[in-house]
Structure 1
Amino acid sequence: MSYSHTATRCCFLLGLAVALTSISPACRADDTSPTPRAPAAKISFTKATQAPPSAVTMDRRGNLYIADPENGQVILMYPDGSQVLFAMGLRTPTGLAVDARGRLYVAEGSHGTIQCICPNGTKTLVAEGLSRPTGIAVDRDGNLTVACPGNGSIARIKGVGAVVEDAL
């Protein structure tokens, strides 16, 4: 498959120059696939003076959440390229996922925990005792699936959404 670049933007993120390039698959005259192909994006980091991001996720609005493990924080980048500090005081964020209600789940790899951060900034511990959690996904029912490379397992944590609701 060939690709055509459609747009490139530059901004600064975590003290690094970042180039965000939207990439769309090139169309062929004989392409009869029934579903349109979504554009992809490529983010390039240059002049790496800090540790690279360890995880990213995107919400329904196209906001990009970027884990900064060295500084224990999550940066929120809006579609226009502007950014804000979304969460800090985390212990090595290594995995991120956003649910349908805009709650961010953060795997803290060095501490074996999962935190939930609500849009209003409230943090709730939703799981602990995991073996170096990294990749994380949340389903529509609020259940988490977490990769735990420390012991070579996949953890399934049910009912996380209810735990967060009770804590608020």
Structure 2
Amino acid sequence: MPEFDDLLELIHGATLTAVGRAADLGILEFASATGDGEIFLHLQCPFRILYGGDLLIASGDMGYPSTTAGPRPTDPPGGSVFDERSLMLNQAIDRIRPMVTKATVELQGLLVVEMAPAFLLQVFPDCSGRVEMWRLFARGSSVHYGFPPAVFTE
């Protein structure tokens, strides 16, 4: 999709540095390919991360309490399966340093990011309204890319 060419250029070659959340907002952090900045991907729709075809973590994990959970799965980190898995995943990411080798935006905002070695992020917009599903931006930049694009051009 032509409107996403700059987005794909921004993330290509970036290194995944962390996976986390703020309430039910998924957050992925990347170091830019040039090493001089940070890139953030905020996810407000279903997403998952796979490694070699195995599901490592998914947005649905936020809704399930961990064994050390507080009263609600959305309590501060440590309260959901997502929090437990993100802690383990971040330790692996720190060692492996997955690098973006390919990113595509398909019809209706499906975002797919391939990272070497064998990591795959899939983002699935699930709302037909004019509601932000995902956003990619570099720290300090006023330019934000996301879906649906109209939300970012108004």
Per the normalisation by structure 2, the TM-score is 0.28
Larger radius of gyration: 1
Which of structures 1 and 2 has the larger relative contact order (alpha carbons within 8 angstroms, sep 6+)? 2
Q: Which one has the bigger strand percentage?
A: 1
Per the normalisation by structure 1, the TM-score is 0.26
Q: Which one has the bigger helix percentage?
A: 2
